Structure 1
């Protein structure tokens, strides 16, 4: 039985002095509503009139009158020397059963299978990911200190409320400078939408740019969440091959000659999931095809800040002169996955349309965190942090790949990634990857289903290395090796 302290009577039995009904009747009505909806179940013992009057802040005689009303209506029963109880038969007659919150709606809804994903709970002591940064290297202490300082400044209190357009102008200016200096984009603040990360970038772009039955070309394989978002917008996906030079531009050309294409989605810097870079020749060819056939290039450089090759290409948006490229990115890997700040860079007229949708789904964003990030950019802290983690991740890549080559050299056919935080691992022979993941789990290693790529022609795994130190990567790879070996026996 719930005690008066445990059950929130004061919260659930509200008294409105402006209401015409007497206070005792308001209490009786609120309590009968709680009984009908099962919050006060059958046989539940009510607190004494003195206790309840203190909880509700009313006179004891008011509670006595409320209990008398409930007793007359048949909701409660008063047992001498025992107390007041919710009447069993009355509750059952009204509710039919002791109820809880409804499991399903009382109306029909459409089930969305496109966006459906099954949670993959992590129960193992160590887990692979698809290329996430190590949260132990996150800028936590500096962020906390800066956030606290930003909150304490009186000038920043304006950011606690709604801002015109939901924008932090200081942050937009600093972000513009950062993107122009690191990516050569030649943008102005009016060309930038601040967002909550990659998935929001894709959603806003898809909902703004795509209509039902629009054709969208993606790589094969491609980023599954992007595919889901495009299909949810009504688009028809057309996968094209990806080889060691990136997405097959000749295949795109052949499709465009026979079919109107609305958009091509690419991850050119390090293709997801294969990590290959789109070659200079293909970048120029793709841009020319966009001008010729009029399709949008949605450029997602999710791993741009982690290039280990000094000759890395700039984004296509930096060489686009006709407004055909929409570039998206985020700081979620620069700092930590939970740090949800991203951006869309596009011509001004498209930015205006995207902002209309953003104003509905995320009217104000996180203006205070944007203030902090803007200060970190202005003072060079972001670049210093990137320089520090860049070397750490490069060392981890080398150690991970060297050990990978030692224990699985006869099974795999992979190339050292020139950037990004993951390795693409195609197998020379077919394996049951689901069985491999199950064996890994038994050995204390979590291998999420989203990292497994298995079709009739492909058996591959995408393995993130950045979140592991040397000892952890050896342990993870040894467990993976044991699981693969068990499959081959």
Structure 2
């Protein structure tokens, strides 16, 4: 090797005087980086401490400390009266860098050096924007959350000594306290007949469906969904290798005659439904068709995956119980979300199923969410036990009902000639169909330019359908008025 000062050390040792990392450690780390990448091969002689200190404009003791650190880690060796030499990687065996480019030594690789399987199925369908006003597909208003109560309950659980042991161990089966209280709550509110052994606590509906798909679906299985269905869940089914088959809908929900005909033509593994408020149309599956679906499931042996994503948001005095409450054959797997009206960090998902299937699902949950969130689960359980969740829902549902009515009035006032819709009995969104076709993509783009974000996931445009799912739950009176006026202005500008 030539003289050690010929190596351009300033090209790969870049010091940050404001960093919390000591300067001598910065030097050591960046020399190690250069050795690992083959820029300083084995037997390279490093410059003396005085020379390098002058080069880097640091005190000589700083360089001495860096060299001591390098030697302690085994990267260099100090030889009396000879100098300090690299003992790391032999030349030719490391990732050799052809030219001393700063970015190559101080940056992270842009791409992997290996190939891997990539999936277009899981591309993120959700969009984000910085517009002042936003439509979504029906999200609660975070401003209505009982933040003071949640904070107080979380803080008290964090300080409670009886929780220390629980936090110190893996919580792969979920909080027993939450399962006991949630199973009781679901029995009372949804007419179920379950114990804590029929309940699995998950992070979200999507996580629930993923676990179910991993266990119950094989590549090539047929999953039946409605013509319009929840795109995120469809992505999970497709990733599992399932073949998705759609059946038509009308004002009473899915066409059960079409379902029976399909069952007679080919084996069906699963039927995915959102019967309480169908996503995205908000239609409630009629009582007669619910009974028929359960009959067909028992007759043909397919699984009914019932997604009750917004059961809590019902505005009339006639709650529709889930199909799982009438299932006597063990054909229904019931998933839902609890605490949806609370802050996002306090929401959770759940699965209800017979115990033999639950035992298998706990194995999968133990792999993908072994730690759990014991404190949040304790808070939710306390809110159920003390009746706080019931009181919160009772208040928030009144607010959302008023917002639904106001939103419907605004749509009627400004879009009566262009949109048709029915007032939904529940949920936080209105399904609105255009009487004359409108280019919804152009409408979305024009809206964004004028300060109103309308994500593509709300737009449904087919040969015989032009519709939008417009969420109102997160908007107060002023916000929804301005949003509707902006939308009207954008429609008029596209004419």
TM-score, L = length of structure 1: 0.87
Query: Offset at 1:262?
Result: 0.3
Helix, strand or coil for the counterpart of 1:238? strand
- Contact between 2:173 and 2:365, CA under 8 Å: does it hold in 1? no
Give yes or no for the alignment of 1:294 onto 2:301. Answer: yes
Query: Offset at 1:482?
Result: 1.3
Query: Offset at 1:278?
Result: 0.3
Give yes or no for the alignment of 1:209 onto 2:216. Answer: yes
Give yes or no for the alignment of 1:235 onto 2:246. Answer: no
Unpaired stretches in structure 1, ≥5 consecutive residues: 14-26, 76-90
Helix, strand or coil for the counterpart of 1:112? coil
Query: Offset at 1:130?
Result: 0.5
Matches within 5 A, 1:166-181: 166-181=173-188
Deviations 1:396-420 (A, max 9, x none): 0000001111100101111001100
Query: For residue 92 of structure 2, what is the aligned residue in structure 1?
Result: none
Q: Distance in 2 between matches of 1:423 and 1:46?
A: 66
Query: For residue 32 of structure 1, what is the aligned residue in structure 2?
Result: 31
Give yes or no for the alignment of 1:149 onto 2:152. Answer: no
Query: For residue 79 of structure 1, what is the aligned residue in structure 2?
Result: none
Give yes or no for the alignment of 1:337 onto 2:380. Answer: no
Query: For residue 257 of structure 2, what is the aligned residue in structure 1?
Result: 250
Query: Offset at 1:45?
Result: 3.1
Give yes or no for the alignment of 1:396 onto 2:403. Answer: yes
Helix, strand or coil for the counterpart of 1:343? strand
Q: Which moved more, 1:227-236 or 1:159-168?
A: 159-168
Unpaired stretches in structure 2, ≥5 consecutive residues: 1-13, 41-51, 89-95
Deviations 1:150-191 (A, max 9, x none): 111101112212246433111110011111010011001100
Q: Distance in 2 between matches of 1:59 and 1:73?
A: 9
Q: Which moved more, 1:431-440 or 1:329-338?
A: 329-338
Query: Offset at 1:312?
Result: 2.5
Query: For residue 324 of structure 1, what is the aligned residue in structure 2?
Result: 331
Q: Distance in 1 between matches of 2:132 and 2:220?
A: 45
**Residue 145 of structure 2, aligned match among 134, 138, 142:** 138
Query: Offset at 1:140?
Result: 1.3
Query: For residue 103 of structure 2, what is the aligned residue in structure 1?
Result: 98
Query: Offset at 1:338?
Result: 3.8
- Contact between 2:141 and 2:474, CA under 8 Å: does it hold in 1? yes
Q: Distance in 1 between matches of 2:216 and 2:484?
A: 42
Query: For residue 2 of structure 1, what is the aligned residue in structure 2?
Result: 15
Q: Distance in 1 between matches of 2:78 and 2:487?
A: 71
Matches within 5 A, 1:56-455: 93=98, 98-99=103-104, 100-117=107-124, 120-163=127-170, 165-455=172-462
Q: Distance in 2 between matches of 1:61 and 1:296?
A: 62
Q: Distance in 2 between matches of 1:59 and 1:361?
A: 39
Helix, strand or coil for the counterpart of 2:56? coil
Query: Offset at 1:5?
Result: 4.5
Query: For residue 481 of structure 1, what is the aligned residue in structure 2?
Result: 488
Deviations 1:107-142 (A, max 9, x none): 111110111125522110111110000011112111
CA RMSD in angstroms, aligned pairs only: 3.1
Q: Distance in 2 between matches of 1:374 and 1:351?
A: 20
How many residue pairs end up in the alignment?
459
Query: For residue 61 of structure 2, what is the aligned residue in structure 1?
Result: 50
Query: For residue 83 of structure 1, what is the aligned residue in structure 2?
Result: none
Q: Distance in 2 between matches of 1:164 and 1:116?
A: 31
Query: Structure 2 vs 1, CA of residues 409 and 155 (structure 1 numbering), >3 Å: closer, same or farther?
Result: same
Q: Distance in 1 between matches of 2:310 and 2:171?
A: 32
Query: Offset at 1:301?
Result: 0.6
Deviations 1:337-359 (A, max 9, x none): 34341100000011111111111
Query: Structure 2 vs 1, CA of residues 466 and 2 (structure 1 numbering), >3 Å: closer, same or farther?
Result: same
Q: Which moved more, 1:166-175 or 1:403-412?
A: 166-175
Query: Structure 2 vs 1, CA of residues 61 and 243 (structure 1 numbering), >3 Å: closer, same or farther?
Result: closer
Deviations 1:170-216 (A, max 9, x none): 11100111110100110011000000011111111111110011000
Q: Distance in 2 between matches of 1:349 and 1:224?
A: 29
